[in-house]
Amino acid sequence: MDGYHLPKAALDKFENPQEAHARRGAHFTFDPNGIVQLLKTIKDPANQNTIIKAPSFDHAKGDPVEDDIEIYPHHKIIIMEGIYLQLVSPEPWNQIPVSFDEMWFIEVDTELARLRTGQRHFAAGLEPSLEAGIQRFDRNDLLNVQFILANRDIRAQCIKSVQEKDTEAGNL
């Protein structure tokens, strides 16, 4: 789903570009219509002998890469990952869950997600310290978590994420 991030140039055109960039990763900074179209293309029997292309995401550039993923006719099982793929609202996100044969939701304790995400922000160089990474989670990612929990399709199978006892805090 990362390939459906809106490019930074598109965020620059938002009514409030500063907020759009700060909240990048929120549902309104993605292209849900593109995801819906991809899923329709995959499901359409007329495309069963066609190579279907989808975008990926270049983390070094911070933008999507068009047509970088190829889905071949011999691919019979396709796994799509993304935090907004199970939304039942708003439009057009609610068109996505009906395309899946199965849905799985990984439930993570919010405090554990806060620590893991803060560490990821720090390790990726997005923030200068773990504390700053956690603050970034509190300002943005936590809002996304709350939105997802309030709007997700509850029919998905739920798996609880647990922290392994022998995993060091720095290696989550």
List the one residue out of 79, 104, 88, 95 whose CA is nearest residue 148. 88
Question: HSE of 21 in the Cβ direction (CA atoms, 13 Å)?
Answer: 9
Q: What is the mean pLDDT of residues 100-117?
A: 96
Q: Does position 170 have pLDDT exceeding 60, yes or no?
A: no
Is the pTM higher than 0.85? yes
Number of H helices, E strands in the chain: 6, 4
In the chain, where are the structural domains located? Answer: 1-79, 102-172
Write down the pLDDT at residue 172: 53
Task: Tell me the pLDDT tens digit for each residue of 82-102.
Answer: 999 999 999 999 999 999 999
Task: Tell me the pLDDT tens digit for each residue of 120-144.
Answer: 999 999 999 999 999 999 999 999 9
CATH for 1-79 is 3.40.50.300
Write down the pLDDT at residue 165: 75
